Structure formats: C-alpha cells, structure tokens
Amino acid sequence: MQETNQFKVFAGSKGLDLAKRVCDVLGCQLGNVHVDRFSDGEFCTYFEESVRGQSVYLVQPTCPSSDNLMELLLMIDAAKRASAYKVIAVIPYFGWARQDRKDKPRVSIGAKLVANMLQAAGADRIITVDLHAEQIQGFFDIPVDHIYGSNVLAPYIAGLNLKKLIVASPDVGGSKRASNFAKKLHGMTDREVPMVICYKHRPDFNKVSEMRVLGDVYGKDVVIIDDIADTAGTLCKAAQVMKAGGAKSVRAIVSHGVLSGTACERIEESDLEELVCTDSLPSDEKHCSKLHIVSLAASIAQTILAIQNHTSISETNLR
C-alpha cells in the first residue's frame, strides 16, 4: 500500500460518511477541512493542515443542493492555492448530469457547464460513479475515471440466489445499462439472465402517464435496473406493471438514491420488495424500511490506489 503522506483525502459536508469509509479501506486518516458560514448564507472553506506537494482527493457529491457544488469548487480552489500537487475531485454523484444535451430550444446544457466550472476551479482529475450519460466524460479536458456501481450492486443480487431471475429496464434508454448488468450477473451465476424493457410515456419531468412491459415476467423474480431514483415514480410504476403481469417478486437496483420529496413514502407503499442503492449520496435523512445501501468505498479506494500507483483502473472497475 502507498505511503499515506503521498496523498490526502478530504470530504465536503455531504461526502463525509463515504470519505470515512474510503479512508478505512485505505488505512489512512481523513484530512481536516473546515467550512465557515456567514449569516447571509455565503461560506468559505479552508484546510486545517498542509497539502503542499500532496495529491489531494476531495469527496463530495454535487447534489441535491447547489451549495454542495459550490463547496467542492471552493475546496478545489483552496487546495490549488495551498500548492497541492494534484487535486482530484471524487464526485460519487454527478449532479446536473440529466442536462447533457439540447433536447429542446433555448435550454442549457447543465452537465457541460458544471464540467467547465470544475476545470476552471483547478481540478486535475475527476473520479465519478455511473454518469447518467457516459458521453459526459467528453465534456472534460482532464482525465475522468468512471466507476461502475454494478461492481458492488451485482454481487448483492447474485447473493440472493433468485431462481427465476430476470432483469428489467424501466425505459428504452436504459436498455444498455440493464443489458450490461444482465451480462455481469450471467458471469457471476453461470445462468442466462433474460431481460425485459418497459415503454413509458413521460409528459413532463418526474411524471409518467403510461407504461407497458415488452416481454414476459410471469412467475419471474424481476430486478429493475436504473441509475437514478429521484421521485421513484418510474420505479414504483414499473413494479406495479410487473406485478400486474404476474411477476413473483420485484426489486429495484439504482446507483444513486436521490429520493427527493415523498419518494420514500411512495416506495413504502409500492409493490417493490426492496430498493438497493449505493452510498453515493448520504442516506441519513432517508427513512425507508425497504432501502438497502451497498457501499462504494472499496471501489473508490481501489481507484485512488491505482492512480497513486500508476496502474490500470479498468481492470478493477469494468462494468
């Protein structure tokens, strides 16, 4: 293992719990960074220890509040001004990623704007998990290490030993993600894992008016694969449709449990047996008995060590 004085790990307000778990895997101490807040809501960040000549890893998701993004930008700037050797932003959940293209006139491309801001602040590298659209990596002119949540989520599903396992995509756009997950499960269970697709009509953001299943789910143990659960409306609607089609059980697997508004209540009342997600976002405020968290700490720690040791990241973080 690398000498810990070659790099230091720090965390923003929303990345603290995950950063502690990453440091436990690395066997190093979490660095001290402080946030001072003014009465008008403005804040500033400063490091309470030297980072001169160090590779500095800053763990912070950039959602749900824009304050989290601004906090990360300020930490990057502070580290650069304190003569850090390299500043690596570890963004387990990359906010604004759903705004990755102009899908209608006169609309912003939020993901590109955030990429520009991170680079302008001085980030030398990005580590992130399951981008909503993989082409967002191309918005950066610095290296982006893209970790796949399936590395920790698929083993959990394989460990359930579901006899009639079938994978479902909640929409046509997520079919590639679901297909890759099915292939990973096939390699782990040595059994073919079929896939079905849901067709949905969405009249507005966070609203689904109609959904149909393309494929047979009768008597099957269905696992719905998605990257983000925000209001959880799509997942709950999909579970209802699957159950109506005769599914024996329905679970949902997502990389990022945003779970905004009444999402937890909606999940509790749904046909889902459980919702499994990673700890890319803090879950301390999400009270849901059906929620099961799987940690990304080991994957992120392996990525940090690979960067420090100049070894391949893809060998341990392939989808």
Listed in sequence order, the residues at least 6 apart from 240 whose beta carbon sits closer than 8 Å to its beta carbon are: 270, 271
Q: How far apart are CA 84 and CA 197, in angstroms?
A: 47
- By the 8 A CB rule, do 50 and 79 touch? no
| 200 is known as an active-site residue | yes
Structure confidence at residue 240 (pLDDT)? 93
Which entry of 14, 184, 200, 286 is annotated as an active-site residue?
A: 200
Structure confidence at residue 1 (pLDDT)? 42
Q: How far apart are CA 164 and CA 16, in angstroms?
A: 39
Structure confidence at residue 5 (pLDDT)? 54
Structure confidence at residue 268 (pLDDT)? 95
User: Residue 238 has which token pair?
Assistant: 């999909």
Structure confidence at residue 3 (pLDDT)? 45
One pLDDT digit (tens) per residue for the chain, 319 residues: 444 459 999 999 999 999 999 999 999 999 999 999 999 989 999 999 999 999 999 999 998 789 999 999 999 999 999 999 999 999 999 999 999 888 889 999 999 999 999 999 999 999 999 999 889 999 999 999 999 999 999 999 999 999 899 999 988 888 899 999 999 999 898 889 999 998 876 556 555 567 888 889 999 999 999 999 999 998 999 999 999 999 999 999 999 999 998 999 999 999 999 999 999 999 876 788 999 999 999 999 999 999 999 999 876 555 4
**Where do we find the tokens 């393309």?**
214
**Where do we find the tokens 């680079």?**
119
pTM beyond 0.85: the answer is yes
Angle at 115 between CA 110 and CA 120, to 5 degrees: 125
Q: How far apart are CA 107 and CA 12, in angstroms?
A: 30
CB atoms closer than 10 angstroms to residue 285: 8
Listed in sequence order, the residues at least 6 apart from 155 whose beta carbon sits closer than 8 Å to its beta carbon are: 188
